Amino acid sequence: MSNWDAEYDVVVVGSGAGGMTAALCSHGKGLSALVIEKDKVYGGTSAVSGGGIWIPCNHQVGPKGGSDDLEEARRYVHALVGNETEAARLDAYLDNGPAMVKYMEDQFGVKFDLVVRYPDYFMHTPGAKATHRSLEPAVFDAANLGDELANQRQPYPGTLIMNRLTMGQAEAHTLLAKEKGWMWMFLKLMLGYWFDWPWRLKTTRDRRLKLGQGLVGWLRWAMLNNKLPLWLNTGLEDLIEENGRIVGVVANRGGKTIRIHARRAVILASGGFEANQEMREKYLAKPTKAEWSAAPGCNHGDGINAGIKVGGAVKGMDRVWGAPSIISPVGNPATALFVERALPRAVMVNSQGKRYCNEAGAYTAVVYAMLKNQQETGGAVPSWFVADAVYRKNYPMGPVLPGMLQPDSKLPPEWRNVIYYKADTLDELAQQIGVDAEGLKETVARNNRFAETGVDEDFGKGDNEFDRYYGDSNVKPNPCLGPIEKAPFYAVKLFPGEIGTNGGLDADERARVRREDGSVIPGLYAVGNCSSAVMGRSYPGAGSTLGPAMVYAYLAAQDIAEKNQSNGEPISNAA
């Protein structure tokens, strides 16, 4: 078929970490590649993420004084995931993760730093490790992007210090846990920003990109260095199939319908469907609302639906990367509570005033517990995060910054009794938020007893390295437990939100999309949240979303290149 508007060996749909990695790895194998992005900015959900990747046995472990064992990692992941993912797919991720990281660094200069002390999320599971498995992007100088920085999705305010300064995962841990030297580190970040006058005259954005901003910065910089095209405002409309093979895409570019030939393959990396209320109603547990999502609102399931249309099977469509969320005061996206739940002097309760989980546990596990308790009691959606005045002064509560930085008098008046609730007594607070007062007081009294002993007898909060990672290191005997006793008392409303859906097209260990009968659709690959997550319902450690997205992008490009070579076909370097 002719009448193509453009031709490439590989067409990648979506400009997040998985998509850009797919394009880079395809290019590294001698294939021409194009990335199309329907939004006016690039980066997708990756740009507002933590930017981490969970890669056991990565090449930095030894030089950083650590050790790891692939079979222990395999034991851990298989125990968590169970039969939700076939062993071959799980093993492909574990076996190829270290090679992907090394390849991206050696071939394209994309750099990561080991977050040495970041524990796995389920420390009671055999094979879990307290250190050396999570990486975060190294500091990226935004000046290297030039004018292209303006086209990158901006970070969430909650990931910035004073809405300006960036911080990485390791730095955030030091600040929130108030470890030794945290004030000096905070001062250095402040001074570095404020004295960077040449850069500040250009933009208020911090030159120093970290988290998802850093990851997307590194990947886009690598694409620019290798002259790889990325078309914004270009949305997928359909996949083009010929004789059972996917050969291209129909896209809308700036209001014009175009046809792009994919000589070798199409790689879908277009995210999940969390912004699509119709798909949420069809697939996810109830209740469910798009406004509860902490994702940026750009993912509507386009890639998943296009794959279904050409016969692709789907799997795990009822699953999400859950995170308790607070509806944003300025509209979507919502604000996810990642670290607040591990800090002392607070509890999370249902409408009966009762706790129902370990608040400091993995955010995915907390949301699944919330939905389960909602089924059992009818009172967990919404839930309530209740804290005292000491918590309010020292720690954040979603969009509400610590009182030492943002006292009540500086909070927008319209947030009162909408975003946060405040009362002089627990009885008054319970009345305001519609929670059983006796139940709440009993829960607080029980928490206060646990704070004295350091042992949460109900849910084990703070009894492992992961829980304690974001606890306050100055609080003894348990950094996650503290008395809720000093008035006034505060509450924020929590919903079962997510950072993305994680069910999607059924892909194999090479990221090839499969039909219902298990056969592969030639020329079609899926990575990231538009594919069924290799981790199933679990989340082994920091970076369990982006890590697989990048590893399977690497494997997809490898598979496409190997097919070309085995068929004796020439590999094109030109568009």
CB-count burial class (<10 Å; 0-12, 13-18, 19+) for 518: exposed
**Does 417 reside within a domain?**
yes
**352, two tokens:** 């009966």
Other Cβ atoms closer than 10 A to 148: 16
Instruction: State the pLDDT at residue 52.
Output: 97
What would the mean pLDDT of 152-158 be, rounded to a whole number? 89
Structural domain span for residue 462: 323-498
Q: Which of 134-148, 326-340, 459-473 has the lowest mean pLDDT?
A: 326-340
Instruction: Give me the phi and psi of 458, to 5 degrees please.
Output: -90, -45
**Cα–Cα dist 44/216, whole Å:** 9
Q: Write the DSSP assignment of 149-210 as a string of letters.
A: GGGBPPPPGGGEETTTEE--HHHHHHHHTT-TTHHHHHHHHHHHHHT-HHHHTT-SS-SEE-
Residue where the block lists tokens 């990486």: 135
Quick one: which of 361, 344, 338 has its CA closest to 450? 344
Measured between alpha carbons, how far is 355 from 417 in angstroms, rounded to an integer?
A: 22
Mean of pLDDT over the chain: 94
Which structure tokens are listed for 76?
């851990």
Average pLDDT over residues 16-26: 98
- Tell me what the mean pLDDT of segment 203-226 comes to: 95
Please compute the mean of the pLDDT values over residues 253-263 and round it to a whole number: 97
Residue type at position 508: D
Structural domain count, the chain: 1
- Residue 425: pLDDT over 50: yes
Q: Using the predicted structure, report yes or no on whether residue 93 has a pLDDT greater than 80.
A: yes
Q: What is the pLDDT of residue 405?
A: 87
Task: Answer whether residue 212 is part of any domain.
Answer: no
Partners of 241 in the β-ladder? 246
Question: How many angstroms separate the CA atoms of 361 and 465, rounded?
Answer: 11
Q: How far is CA 541 from CA 50, 120, 324, in A?
A: 12, 4, 17
436 contacts 430 by C-beta, under 8 angstroms: yes
569 belongs to a structural domain: no
Whose CA is closest to 47, among 137, 144, 152, 141? 152
10 in any annotated domain: no
Instruction: Summarize pLDDT for 98-154 with one digit per residue, the tens.
Output: 999 999 999 999 999 999 999 999 999 999 999 999 999 999 999 999 999 999 999
Q: Let me know: does 296 contact 45? Beta carbons within 8 Å.
A: yes
Contact between residue 388 and residue 485 where contact means Cβ atoms under 8 Å apart: yes
Rounded to 5°, angle at Cα 520 from 517 and 523: 150
- Cis amide prior to 399 (ω within 30 degrees): no
CA dihedral angle for residue 462, residue 467, residue 469, residue 474, rounded to 10 degrees:
-20
Is 512 a residue whose pLDDT tops 80? yes
Residue 359 falls within a domain, yes or no?
A: yes
Give the pLDDT score at 195: 85
pLDDT on residue 55: 98
Q: pTM value?
A: 0.94
Per-residue pLDDT at 450 exceeds 90? yes
Scanning the structure block, which residue is given the tokens 């030089």? 63
Q: Considering the domain boundaries, does residue 415 fall inside one?
A: yes
Say which CATH number the domain at 385 has. 3.90.700.10
> Are β-strands 165-166 and 256-268 bridged in parallel, bridged antiparallel, or unpaired?
unpaired
Tokens 């086209």: give the residue: 151
- Residue 199's pLDDT is 85
Distance, CA of 429 to CA of 540 (rounded, Å):
36
Give the residue carrying structure tokens 């509450």.
Answer: 491
Please tell me the distance from the alpha carbon of residue 215 to that of residue 218, in angstroms, as a whole number: 5
Q: Has residue 380 been placed in a domain? A: yes
Asked whether the predicted pLDDT for residue 565 surpasses 60, the reply is no
How far is 468 from 445, CA to CA, in rounded Å?
A: 22
Beta-bridge mates of residue 252: 235, 257
* pLDDT recorded at residue 564: 63
Residue 567 to residue 575: CA distance in whole angstroms:
21
Q: What is the 3-state secondary structure (H, E, C) of 133-164?
A: CEEEECCEEHHHHHHHHHHECCCCHHHEECCC
Rounded to an integer, the average pLDDT of 59-77 is 97
DSSP secondary structure code for residue 32 in this structure: -
For residue 378, what pLDDT is reported?
Answer: 97
pLDDT value, residue 573: 39
Token pair for residue 8? Answer: 């490439």
* Neighbour-count burial of 342, counting CB atoms closer than 10 A to its CB (0-12 exposed, 13-18 middle, 19+ buried): buried
What does the alpha-carbon distance between residue 285 and residue 320 come to, in Å, rounded to a whole number?
Answer: 10
**How deeply is 200 buried, as exposed, middle or buried, from its count of CB atoms within 10 A (0-12, 13-18, 19+)?**
middle
Q: Report how far residue 367's alpha carbon sits from residue 376's, in angstroms, rounded to the nearest whole number.
A: 14
**287-300 pLDDT tens trace:** 999 999 999 999 99
User: Confidence class of residue 572 from pLDDT cuts 50, 70 and 90?
Assistant: very low
DSSP β-ladder status, 383-387 and 489-501: antiparallel
Tell me how many helices (H) and strands (E) the chain has: 15, 23
Confidence label for 159 from pLDDT (cuts 50, 70 and 90): confident
Q: In the beta sheet, which residues pair with residue 234? A: 253
Q: 3-state class of 316 per DSSP?
A: coil
Residue 437 domain flag: yes
